[in-house]
Structure 1
């Protein structure tokens, strides 16, 4: 398994569109959390983007997960960072 950090920047100038998709996005994240694929996630306080930490087999699996996220077809974010991460302290 590998830990990946993903940083998103919201690109939607009309936040209404993102907010319409957000419930489905959060349901998807909840399912990933329950499946042990998502460690933690959340938006930045200023609502300009979000940070997500995944525990997946490899980058290919993560990219599949991101492709299925309701935010992806809605085109409301851009990927700023997708990096494998080596946490210094144990997660959870």
Structure 2
């Protein structure tokens, strides 16, 4: 499995819409965590952005799964950037080897 870093940039003009969909988004994240795909997720405190770490078998799978995020379905994400990432050391590095 490959680890992917994912950066979301949110539409700052739709913060209320994002807040309204937050329970569905968190349920989606919980499902990804439960199936072993989600490693970590969190928002930046200084911007309308988030960083997520996932394990997927391919970039195509990553894109398909991320397209199903309720925030993406609702058009609340203005930019999504994915990178395959190989951690060199630390707790996430062990996940990359699994």
Query: TM-score with structure 1 length normalisation?
Result: 0.91
The 5 Å alignment of 1:34-45 reads 34-45=34-45
**Equivalent position SS for 1:51:** strand
Shifted more, 62-71 versus 7-16: the winner is 7-16
Shifted more, 38-47 versus 63-72: the winner is 38-47
Aligned positions, number: 92
Q: Report the RMSD for the aligned CA atoms in angstroms.
A: 1.4
Corresponding residue for residue 11 of structure 2: 11
CA shift, 1:79, in A, is: 2.6
Query: Does structure 2 conserve the Cα–Cα contact (< 8 Å) formed by 1:6 and 1:79?
Result: no
CA shift, 1:47, in A, is: 4.8
Corresponding residue for residue 55 of structure 2: 55
Query: Does structure 2 conserve the Cα–Cα contact (< 8 Å) formed by 1:44 and 1:50?
Result: yes
Corresponding residue for residue 85 of structure 1: 85
Query: Does structure 1 conserve the Cα–Cα contact (< 8 Å) formed by 2:12 and 2:48?
Result: no
Segments of 5+ residues of structure 1 without an aligned counterpart are: none
Partners of 1:47 and 1:85 in 2: CA distance: 23
**Structure 1 residues 12 and 74, CA gap change in structure 2 (3 angstroms):** farther
Query: Does structure 2 conserve the Cα–Cα contact (< 8 Å) formed by 1:12 and 1:75?
Result: no
